[in-house]
Amino acid sequence: MRKFGVLLGILLIMAVGIFAVTTVTIKIEGVGSPADTTRITNFGDAVKIANNILAACDSPYRIKIETTWFQGGWDEYRKEYILAFKAGKEPDIRAEGHEDIPWMADAGYILPLDKYVKKYNDIAYYDVYPSLWDAVKFNGKIYAIPQDTEARPLYFRKDVLRKLGWSEEKIANFPKEIEAGNVTLDDLIAIAKEAVNKGLVEYGFLHRPSNGGFFTMMYYDFGGKLFDEAGNLIVEEKPLLNTLQFFKKMVDEGVLPSSMTNISWRSIHKAFVEGRSLFWFGGTWHWAEWQRVAYHSKLGALPESYEWENIGFALNPPPEKGGKPITMSHPFTYVVSSHTKYPELVNLLLAVVSSPKFLVNHALASGHLVTRASAAIYPSYVKNKFVASVTPMLKYTTVLPNNLAFKKIMDPLYGAVQAVELGKLSPEKAVKWFEEEVKSAIPNIKIVK
C-alpha cells in the first residue's frame, strides 16, 4: 500500500511536470553573406542543449525556435527591425553588426545585457576578448553578445604571381613583406599593372561592389581618424583625399574596372576564383564561401587544397614604406529585443550558443574568427590552417566606430569612391561633395583640413 502510494506520488509529480511544461517560441533573425547561415543554424542544436538544461532544472519551460534569414541590404534590415518592433513582430534575438548597437540601444529597442553577462559569465563569457566587449557597449552598458569577428585580408592569386616569374619563396614571403611594411599600395598597383599588361588577368584589383567597412578601412589606412581627443566625430580631409586618389589611381592605371560598383557579387567572386583578377580586397569569410558556393565555372565550389595552391592572403599594405599594414574586424553580435517576453530563456540560449563548440562551428563554416579564448584552443579550430594563419592579423585590426551618426559618413564616403571610380568627379571635387553631404546630414561635424 505504501509502495502504491509512493508510485502514485511519483506519477503525480511526473504528471504535473509534464503538464506544466510550456513551450515558448523564440524568434531569431540573421543576416550576412550566403555562407554565414551558421549564425542562425547553430541555434538548432543549441536549443536542444538549452532544453536539456531546462529539463534538468525542472523548469516548466521548453524552447522552440523560429528562424529567419534576411535577404536584402543593411538599410532594409534596419528598417525592418524598427517597423517590426513597433508592431510587436520583431525577433527576440537578432544578429547585428556591432555598429548598429548605438541607435538600437539609444531608441530602447534592445535590452542591456550586463545582468545576464554576469549571470552566465562563468560558463560562457569569462574569456570573451575584451576588445569585443568594447564593441558592444553603448553608454557603458553591454547591449549585445559578440558572436564572431574576422579580418579583412588582401587576397592574391599565387598562380598569377608565378606566371609573373615570382619564385615560390618570394610568393610565400609576400605576406610577411607586407606585414613588415616593405610593400606599399603603390607597389601593389605596379604588380597588378604588370599582370594586366601581360594579359595574365582581366582585372588587377576587385573590391566590394556595395557600401561596407572596406572603404572606412582604406581611410584608416591613409591615416584617417573619425574621432578627436574629446571623442567627437570628425573627418580628416587629407587622408580622405589620399584615399580617393588611391582609387582614382587604380582606375587610371587600368587595374580596377571603373564600373566596379556595378558588378554583381557573383561575377566578382567568379572572376577571382577563376584567376581573372590578381587581387581581391575581401574578408576571411570569403575563404569559406568559395568552398561552399559554386562560383568557379569548371570546378564549382573550390576544394580547400585548390585555395592553398592558388590563393594567398595578406594584410592590407600601408600607403608608404615602413608604414603599418591594416585590416578591419566587423564583429557580429546577437542583440535581444527589449520587448522579449522571456529574457531569461533568451539569455540561456545565448549562453549556450556562445559555447566554444558553436563558435568554432560557425567560424570554420563561414571563415570567421571566434570570440573566446577557450574556443580559440578548440582542437578543430587550432588544426585549421586558415584560421591559424589569419588570427595573427587581428594585431593590426581596426573597427568601425560605434556612433549613431557614423552611417551618415559611411554613405557619402562610398558615394565619393563610386564617383571617383566612374570618373564623374575628380578626387578633389569628390572631397568637396563628400563634405557637403556630411555637413548637411550632421550639421555640427568637424572637418579637419
Partner 1 sequence: MKGQTPRGATQVIPKRAIYSLKRKKKKERRAQEVRGEAVTFSRRNEIISTIIMTIISIPIFLSYLWLFLSSFSAKMWHGLIPLKFTLHNWRFLWQPIKFGAVMHTSIWPITLNTLLLALAVTISEVLVSTLSGYALSRFRFKGRVMIQGMTMLLHAFPGVALLIAIYYVLYTMRLLDTLWGVMLVKISLEIPMSTNIIKGFFDNIPWDIEWSSFVDGCNRWQTWRYVILPLLKPGIAAISLFSFLSGWGEFLYIYTFIFTSKKQTLATFLNSLIGEFKFVDYGLLSAVATFYMIPTLLFFIFTQKALLQMSFGGRKA
Partner 2 sequence: MEVKTSSVMGFLGPFLILVLAFYFIPVILTVILSFTSMDYKLSWDFTGFTNFEHFLTQSLTYKVLLTTFVYVALTLIFNVGIAFLLALMTTYFTTHENTAMFFRAIWLLPRLTPVVVYCLLWMWIFEPTQYGLFNTILSLFGKSSSIDWFSSYPMGVIVFANGFIGASFGMVTFSSAIKSISRDYIWSAQVDGAGDWQIIKRIIIPMIKWEIMYIFIWQTLSLLNSYVYILILTDGGPLHETEVWSLYAYHKAFKYMEFGNGAALSLFLVIIGIIFTFISWKIFGFRKMMGQEVSR
Residue with Cβ nearer partner 2 (15 or 107): 107
The reply on whether position 168 binds partner 2 by CB under 8 A is: no
* Choices 48-56, 74-82, 174-182, 402-410; region in contact with partner 1 by CB under 8 A: 74-82
Partner whose binding site includes residue 69, from partner 1, partner 2, none (CB under 5 to 8 Å by kind): partner 1
CA-angle at 322, arms to 211 and 220, nearest 5°: 20
Distance between CA atoms of residues 352 and 28, nearest Å: 14
Q: Decide which of partner 1, partner 2, none touches 235; Cβ closer than 5 to 8 Å per partner kind.
A: none
Residue 60's contacts (CB-CB under 8 Å, 6 or more residues apart) are 20, 21, 22
- The grid cell for 411 is 554613405
Q: Coil, strand or helix: which one is 165? A: coil
Phi, psi of 361 (to 5 degrees): -55, -50
Does position 337 bind partner 2 by CB under 8 A? no
Question: Phi and psi for 334 in degrees, rounded to 5?
Answer: -105, 130
Distance in angstroms (rounded) separating the CA atoms of residues 15 and 2: 19
Tell me the HSE value of 74 on the side-chain side, using a 13 A CA sphere. Answer: 14
Number of residues located near partner 1, criterion CB under 8 A:
29
Min separation Cβ 407 and partner 2, Å:
7
Q: Which is nearer to partner 2, 193 or 408 (CB)?
A: 408
Q: DSSP class of residue 302? A: P
- The option from partner 2, partner 1, none interacting with 408 (CB < 5 to 8 A, set by class) reads partner 2
Q: Does 79 bind partner 2 (CB under 8 A)?
A: yes
List the Cα angle 390/396/402 in 5-degree steps. Answer: 105
- Of the candidate spans 34-42, 99-107, 242-250, 293-301, the one that interacts with partner 2 by CB under 8 A turns out to be 99-107
Residue 223 Cα distances to 32, 310, 319, angstroms? 29, 32, 9
Q: Which of partner 2, partner 1, none does residue 89 bind to, with CB < 5 to 8 Å depending on kind?
A: partner 1
Query: Taking CB under 8 A as the rule, does residue 64 contact partner 1?
Result: no
- Smallest Cα–Cα separation from 270: which of 300, 250, 292? 300
* C-alpha grid cell, residue 9: 506520488
Find the binding residues for partner 1 in span 228-287 (CB under 8 A): 264-267
Site for partner 2 in 270-329 (CB under 8 A): none
Residue 37 binds which entry of partner 1, partner 2, none, with Cβ cut-offs from 5 to 8 Å by kind?
partner 1
* C-alpha–C-alpha distance, residues 373 and 378, integer Å: 9
Q: What's the rounded Cα separation, in Å, for the pair 327 and 150?
A: 9
Least distance to partner 2, CB of residue 90, Å: 13
Does 73 bind partner 1 (CB under 8 A)? Our answer is: yes
Q: How far does Cα 8 stand from its chain's mean position?
A: 56
Give which of partner 1, partner 2, none residue 11 binds (C-beta under 5 to 8 Å, depending on kind).
none
Of 9 and 73, which CB lies nearer to partner 2 in the complex structure? Answer: 73
Side chain identity at 11, as an amino acid letter?
L
Q: Examine residue 429 and tell whether it contacts partner 2 (CB under 8 A).
A: no
b/e burial code for range 67-77 (CB count within 10 A of at least 16 → b): bebbeeebeeb
Of the candidate residues 24, 37, 53, 78, the single one contacting partner 2 (CB under 8 A): 78
Least separation in angstroms between residue 61's CB and partner 1 is 23
Q: Give the shortest CB-301-to-partner 2 separation in angstroms.
A: 23
Q: Of partner 1, partner 2, none, which one sits near residue 117, judging by CB under 5 to 8 A according to partner kind?
A: none
**Look-up: residue for cell 591615416?**
223
Residue 31 DSSP code:
-
Show contacts with partner 1 in window 181-210 (CB under 8 A).
209-210
Contacts of residue 263, Cβ cutoff 8 Å, sequence gap at least 6: 206, 209, 257
User: Considering the rule CB under 8 A, would residue 36 count as an interface residue with partner 1?
Assistant: yes
What residue 78 binds from partner 2, partner 1, none (CB within 5 to 8 A, per partner kind)? partner 2
Residue from the set 7, 76, 341, 388 that interacts with partner 1 by CB under 8 A: 76
**Residue choice 424, 428, 446, 448 for contact with partner 2 (CB under 8 A):** 424
447 binds partner 2 (CB under 8 A): no
Of the residues 68, 173, 182, 267, which one makes contact with partner 2 according to CB under 8 A: 267
Among 189, 378, 418, 427, interactor with partner 2 by CB under 8 A: 418
Helix axes 237-252, 407-422, angle to 10 degrees: 30
* Residue ranges that bind partner 2, judged by CB under 8 A: 75, 78-79, 82, 86, 103, 106-108, 258-259, 261-263, 267, 407-408, 415, 418-419, 422, 424-425, 433, 436-437, 440-441
Residues that bind partner 1 (CB under 8 A): 33-37, 68-69, 71-74, 76, 79-80, 83-84, 86-87, 89-90, 209-210, 264-267, 289, 292-293
